């Protein structure tokens, strides 16, 4: 009985927030044409998806996330409103009230990917609450019945029961569905980031706009972070940009990064610096950790752990440290002035790393917006 009371209080609080928000939406959200696209971003985080959709011509009304500290970067860098809410506690009716009475409705959702990534595939990971979020996304779609749906996540999700249930739900609702495995690099992101994108429309399958690939294989790391940023040592913070700060390294890891070459592996180190696991036969598989990026190549996938040298090939190409949050944000195609840090809130590598590493690259979101726009133009 006590649990039911708590749930009722939570829902009542969310309803109160909705009432205040709906009554305060600016006049700019009034419908101008019947084919204007209006979006709600579930699991919005710091706003990468919303920023890209907005730049691509979609009116994102609001973003939802259970992390209340996302409010500052989300509302500071996008034209949309932030609502703190657990998607599992939301009703379709509450979400539907966010949309104007006419226009095209888009529901977008990129649930946290860790339970579906290779690093998260374990019995423990399947019990995490996040694995149910895709089910709640499907539930809200059934209750709202938007014209358009967008879902992005890691490619490994395709083998999961949650994904198959999600796709079946869309089929039962008579959506035209298109499934795409994309590499963000082909859409102008200086990073090798492969993702699964599901687009759905009541008007039929949605085609992605074709990627615009550069002949020389760009963009590379040097195109994003080689100029315009202060040189830093491990543990230092930029005097001009508080997001440009390097995590400290132990004396031994300083020796390791100094012994590393661009694009190389820990095989470049003298044996005295190698970890015990590297000396085992099975250790030869882990060549991507403790490595430096290369100026003349795309970055590896930016994960939430990019500040940690040992979590991937996250070493700066020249400076003896791991990349900073600002550099990671640029490699995710956030703008140079994207403001993540709320005044008065202590900095946290873990928190900011989660926002940046989990984000949909802004340029990918822009391409998705243009794909939906072209889809509707073709419908005419």
* Catalytic residue IDs: 113
Beta-carbon-side half-sphere exposure of residue 355 (alpha carbons within 13 Å): 28
Q: Which residues have a Cβ under 8 Å from the Cβ of 43 and sit 6 or more positions away?
A: 64, 65, 87, 109, 110, 111, 112, 133
> Is residue 142 within 8 Å of 171, Cβ to Cβ?
no
Q: Which neighbouring-strand residues pair with 153?
A: 196
Range 213-221, long-range pairs (CB < 8 A, 24+ positions) = 213/186, 217/298, 218/190, 219/185, 219/188, 219/189, 219/190, 219/298, 220/190, 220/294, 220/295, 220/296, 220/297, 220/298, 221/190, 221/293, 221/294, 221/295, 221/296, 221/297, 221/298, 221/299, 221/317, 221/331
For residues 253 and 28, what is the distance between their CA atoms, to the nearest angstrom? 52
């Amino acid at each position: 009985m006590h649990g039911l009371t708590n749930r009722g209080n939570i829902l009542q609080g969310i309803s109160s927030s909705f009432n205040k928000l709906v009554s305060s939406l600016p006049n700019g959200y009034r419908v101008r044409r019947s084919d204007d696209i209006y979006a709600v971003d579930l699991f919005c985080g710091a706003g990468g998806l919303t920023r890209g959709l907005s730049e691509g011509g979609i009116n994102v009304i609001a973003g939802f996330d259970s992390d209340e500290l996302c409010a500052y970067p989300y509302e500071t860098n996008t034209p949309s409103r932030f609502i703190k809410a657990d998607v599992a506690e939301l009703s379709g009716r509450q979400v539907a009230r966010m949309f104007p009475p006419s226009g095209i409705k888009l529901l977008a959702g990129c649930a946290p990917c860790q339970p579906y990534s290779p690093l998260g595939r374990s019995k423990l990971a399947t019990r995490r609450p996040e694995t149910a979020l895709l089910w709640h996304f499907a539930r809200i779609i059934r209750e709202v019945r938007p014209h358009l749906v967008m879902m992005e996540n890691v490619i490994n999700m395709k083998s999961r029961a949650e994904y198959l249930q999600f796709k079946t739900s869309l089929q039962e609702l008579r959506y035209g569905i298109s499934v795409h495995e994309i590499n963000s690099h082909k859409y102008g992101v200086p990073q090798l980031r492969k993702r699964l994108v599901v687009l759905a429309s009541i008007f039929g399958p949605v085609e992605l706009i074709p990627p615009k690939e550069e002949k020389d294989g760009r963009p590379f790391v040097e195109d994003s972070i080689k100029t315009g940023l202060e040189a830093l040592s491990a543990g230092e913070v930029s005097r001009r940009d508080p997001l440009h700060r390097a995590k400290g390294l132990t004396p031994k890891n300083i020796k390791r990064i100094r012994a590393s070459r661009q694009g190389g592996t820990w095989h470049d180190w003298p044996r005295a610096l190698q970890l015990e696991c590297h000396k085992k036969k099975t250790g030869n598989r882990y060549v991507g950790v403790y490595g430096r990026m290369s100026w003349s190549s795309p970055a590896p996938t930016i994960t939430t752990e990019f500040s940690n040298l040992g979590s991937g090939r996250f070493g700066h190409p020249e400076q003896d440290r791991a990349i900073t949050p600002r550099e990671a944000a640029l490699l995710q195609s956030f703008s140079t002035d994207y403001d993540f840090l709320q005044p008065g809130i202590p900095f946290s590598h873990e928190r900011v790393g989660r926002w940046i590493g989990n984000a949909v690259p802004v340029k990918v979101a822009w391409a998705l917006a243009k794909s939906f726009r072209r889809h509707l133009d073709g419908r005419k």
